[in-house]
Structure 1
Amino acid sequence: MDTLDNTEWDVLIVGTGLQQSLLALALSRSDKKILHVDDNEYYGGTEAAFSLQEAEEWAKRVSDDSSAAAFTHISIDKPESAESDTTLPSLSFSRSYSLALNPQLIYARSELLQYLVSSKVYRQLDFLAVGSWWVYSPNPETTGAEASTVSESHRSESRRGSLVKVPNGREDVFQDQILDFKAKRALMKFLRFIAEYEEQPEVWTDHRSRPFSAFLSAQFKVPVALQGPLLALTLSPDTSDQTTTEYALPRIARHLRSIGVFGAGFGAVIPKWGGMSELAQVACRACAVGGGVYVLGKGLSQIEENIEAPADDVGVRIKLRLTDGEVLTARYVVGAAETSSPADSSYSKSISIVGSACTPLFPSLGEDTPAPACAVVVFPSGSLPSGSDYQVSTPPVHVFIHNSDTGECPTGQCILYGFTSLGGEDGAKLVKNAVDTLLSTMDITPSPPILWSIHYEQRAASTGPSISTTNDHIINFPPPSLDLAFDGAVLESVKSIWKKIMGDDAGEFLVFDDREANIDDDE
């Protein structure tokens, strides 16, 4: 479509982030005239995925544009040794990489997966298993009671520390021949409780605001050495002292209840080819098939509210001007999130391309189960030095390792996604320390080299202009989630806006008839 001038639309959606794209998908069978615009030349917003060249162009563009409040302090590192030493693995061509700005896990019991099935768009997506979870211990050798609580078969050791494999459930705990009886009994008691914790409020409600670690000690006598693996399952960005019982219980239950839904040994998946960006693009394509129009490189510039509608039209019309000067009208405008202030907390992130398949992190999940494509490594609070000291007050660092099965890198390489809730220079150092420590801790000689890396800070803010208005036909999405697992609140937000737009015509949310079946019936 060459021009949008003087065109009337039912819904204008600003931005192609995951929330906006899911709304477009929800509206795609509604017979409404939908225009979806984005200032960027790429889909996905804060969930975008980039090739190497695109990542470098993005870094320069964001660094030059202070209005892009979601991302700051971007730096790219290309180690000279990776370029000069011909005996080391080397970077491949730019488009052989797909680097996700905001990778997330999707638990098997997430409503998102149910809606992808009911809307039929799952046919355009591939999902891969999230395999083993590991917790880093800074002590290369434990002694006394702690040594007997961790199976040697679950430990990968190095001079700097060790990686302890998190048990997948009761079977792993029960079959462990090294875990001492006292520790095994405490863990089994907790696992029985967590399976139906909602029905036992008398056990935990008095502890809801206390640290989860204190609850484990007081109620279940879980040894300190085994609390780290349980805390790791919460994916909490906060220190152990700040992670409350009320926060931890539903997240551990989510993890354990999801194991076995799609196959033995795992409970979460990731989308292939670029993480949540792939979901956003597939949702956009589905809307386009339904008649929606997409325009990249063009955003919303100005709104003139409450223009006079035709006498025979009881609906609201809003006059809009796009960044290229084109003028149009719409009944509803759905915009980006409100921009956060510089004072809001920042999260330090990094993406590292590693010249190794990191095979020790991807043990088989068992017979007749898919090969894992993602591993999770958690560095608990205080397990990494901040400066020259280990400080319990530092938050944990999470690292997602994606292998080449994801389509994000060539065979024989991996992508390491690092994350911590500590901003500034200290946060950047903490994430880098975690990545370096992980590479030196794996049982691989020599340590895998980093071929390319990028560090950036992210706030829960929009990359585009928010819409300031009191008109209830102009709606803002909340800031995108920075959770490491997909947040179900995103779906609730999309659903509420969809209901508002559809009104009495709203049917079932993201439940579509099968077009392929209808075509067969007609024939």
Structure 2
Amino acid sequence: MDEEYDVIVLGTGLKECILSGLLSVDGLKVLHMDRNDYYGGESTSLNLVQLWKKFRGSDKPPPQLGSSRDYNVDMIPKFMMANGTLVRVLIHTDVTKYLSFKAVDGSYVFNKGKIHKVPATDMEALKSPLMGIFEKRRARKFFIFVQDYDESDPRTHDGMDLTRVTTRQLIVKYGLDDNTVDFIGHALALHRDDHYLDEPALDTVKRMKLYAESLARFQGGSPYIYPLYGLGELPQAFARLSAVYGGTYMLNKPECKVEFDEEGKVCGVTSEGETARCKKVVCDPSYLPNKVRKVGKVARAICIMSHPIPNTNDSHSVQVILPQKQLGRRSDMYLFCCSYAHCVAPKGKFIAFVSTEAETDQPETELKPGIDLLGPIDEIFFDVYDRYEPVNEPSLDNCFISTSYDPTTHFESTVIDVLNMYNMITGKVVDLSVDLSAASAAEE
């Protein structure tokens, strides 16, 4: 403790672990502390006994659910885009050698009371029951435009400047109906609400391209991959990386009080009467509660089941997006399912999550449209947590605080936050132009 560090990282949540890994690789001297005696913070994975303790206050789960240690239940369930930013960061840092991934079986969208596979290419658009015959032709033309679009080649731009044209204007040009727009915007481009319609179309086109490229990557039924043994593996893999590059880890450190000098700049962290000195602090919102503000809350149901989600083609791992408009809500709802196929439950057991941005104080009622799609449930737990974002000015106090995890079931927004923080801390940009085939061994 009595040393000086470039950076002290507080909390071993996924964002903090990725940052301590990246900063250690950069040659910075990093000390990483957590008040908990386990890795992962908010984004940890729990076994059955831990799950029971957290939600039921007892440590005796019913025996028919199987062995406790066969369960790895993510508290913040998310899939990764096969070609997405997180996978690029994993390859850039070579963390892939500590992890095994498997493709996710399916990606679906809720439309007019039914679950449908998300069409991602012109060929899939033609087969999809989501659209009538004329709409399919229009959608196919639009998909072909997106597939062929190349930012650096004006011949593919169809005479439009997508940095100026809004998504709404682009959609009008192709004559797509609201129904089609709903699944394109929310299930392909993964927007969380409808603000994107009045923003430049380039972002949406790029997001659709990422989806299609990720889908093509493993020729699976979805663009997503997920680590064997659950997301709890990720923070630990980055922690290993940090340790290889000389980072120091201390778990189970109570308090972790951040100390400031007379100018209000961070100068160290005190725990158990000892102070470690540092120039910068990176942490999650819980370590500096007076420098964050509440921006919302997430409601989630965690369900243990003995079957896959109905109408998803018996998928062992699947995401279903329920766009806000379909439910008459202000934000989307997400279903996430994984199973023994990814080693997160005993054979024959499935774990399903229903997540959304809470709009009322009754999560049970609010999550009902998602829970109703799951079929029979063995056990259900409800979790609600507040979301915070930093309000401090890092250039003045040298505190770099991550934003709480949102309810989405994919990592794109999480990693953008990490890369922005890395840029603020170091003034550099992570090189993401990596050889994606480095993670191809991940398939099985």
1:379 is the counterpart of 2:327 = no
Structure 1 residues 382-427: Cα deviation after superposition (integer angstroms, max 9, x where no partner): 545xxxxxxx345332101112212111121211111122333344
Distance 1:380 1:510, change over 3 A: closer
Helix, strand or coil: the match of 1:19?
A: helix
Aligned pairs for 1:163-174 within 5 A: 163-174=115-126
Number of aligned residue pairs = 414
Q: Which runs of 5+ in 1 are unaligned?
A: 62-75, 84-88, 139-160, 308-315, 364-371, 385-391, 441-448, 501-505, 513-523
1:476 is the counterpart of 2:400 = yes
Aligned pairs for 1:132-211 within 5 A: 132-138=106-112, 161-174=113-126, 180-195=132-147, 196=149, 199-200=157-158, 202=160, 208=166, 210=168
Letter in 1 for 2:166: R
Distance 1:20 1:402, change over 3 A: same
Structure 1 residues 127-165: Cα deviation after superposition (integer angstroms, max 9, x where no partner): 121232223344xxxxxxxxxxxxxxxxxxxxxx53222
| Residue 110 of structure 1, aligned match among 65, 84, 92 | 84
1:438 is the counterpart of 2:391 = no
Distance 1:393 1:205, change over 3 A: farther
Structure 2 Cα separation of the partners of residues 194 and 13 of structure 1: 41
Structure 1 Cα separation of the partners of residues 73 and 247 of structure 2: 28
Helix, strand or coil: the match of 2:91?
A: helix
Question: Could you state the TM-score of these two structures normalised by the residue count of structure 2?
Answer: 0.79
8 A Cα contact 1:357 1:412, kept in partner: no
Structure 1 residues 447-476: Cα deviation after superposition (integer angstroms, max 9, x where no partner): xx32222222233327xxx89787757321
| Residue 14 of structure 2, aligned match among 14, 18, 22 | 18
Structure 1 Cα separation of the partners of residues 419 and 325 of structure 2: 35
1:120 is the counterpart of 2:79 = no
Q: 1:36 aligns to what?
A: 32
| Residue 277 of structure 2, aligned match among 325, 329, 332 | 329
Structure 2 Cα separation of the partners of residues 511 and 325 of structure 1: 45
Q: 2:296 aligns to what?
A: 345
Structure 1 Cα separation of the partners of residues 23 and 78 of structure 2: 25
8 A Cα contact 2:109 2:116, kept in partner: yes
Give the deviation of 1:260 after TM superposition. Answer: 0.9
Q: Which runs of 5+ in 2 are unaligned?
A: 152-156, 435-444
Q: 2:439 aligns to what?
A: none
8 A Cα contact 1:302 1:321, kept in partner: yes
Structure 2 Cα separation of the partners of residues 225 and 508 of structure 1: 38
8 A Cα contact 1:331 1:473, kept in partner: no
Q: 2:365 aligns to what?
A: 429
| Residue 283 of structure 1, aligned match among 238, 248, 260 | 238
Structure 2 Cα separation of the partners of residues 355 and 137 of structure 1: 25
Distance 1:182 1:286, change over 3 A: same
Aligned pairs for 1:40-439 within 5 A: 40-59=36-55, 90-138=64-112, 161-174=113-126, 180-195=132-147, 196=149, 199-200=157-158, 202=160, 208=166, 210=168, 216=171, 218-230=172-184, 231-238=186-193, 242=195, 244=197, 246=199, 248-263=204-219, 265-275=221-231, 277-298=232-253, 299-305=255-261, 318-322=267-271, 324-337=272-285, 339=289, 340-342=292-294, 344-358=295-309, 361-362=312-313, 373-381=316-324, 383-384=326-327, 392-435=328-371, 437-439=372-374
Structure 1 residues 203-237: Cα deviation after superposition (integer angstroms, max 9, x where no partner): 86776275xxx964x33233444444323223333
Distance 1:251 1:32, change over 3 A: closer
Q: 2:440 aligns to what?
A: none
Aligned pairs for 1:445-456 within 5 A: 449-456=376-383
Name which of structure 1's ranges 227-236 and 450-459 shifts more when overlaid on structure 2. Answer: 227-236
Helix, strand or coil: the match of 1:460?
A: strand
Give the deviation of 1:509 after TM superposition. Answer: 5.5
Letter in 2 for 1:220: Y
C-alpha RMSD of matched pairs (Å): 3.7
Structure 1 residues 259-309: Cα deviation after superposition (integer angstroms, max 9, x where no partner): 21233543221222222x3211100012123332211121421414279xx
Structure 2 Cα separation of the partners of residues 178 and 429 of structure 1: 28
Question: Could you state the TM-score of these two structures normalised by the residue count of structure 1?
Answer: 0.68
Structure 1 residues 113-133: Cα deviation after superposition (integer angstroms, max 9, x where no partner): 223223221011111212322
8 A Cα contact 2:9 2:283, kept in partner: yes
Structure 1 Cα separation of the partners of residues 364 and 208 of structure 2: 28
Q: 1:458 aligns to what?
A: 385
- Which is greater in Rg? 1
Distance 1:490 1:382, change over 3 A: closer
Letter in 1 for 2:197: T
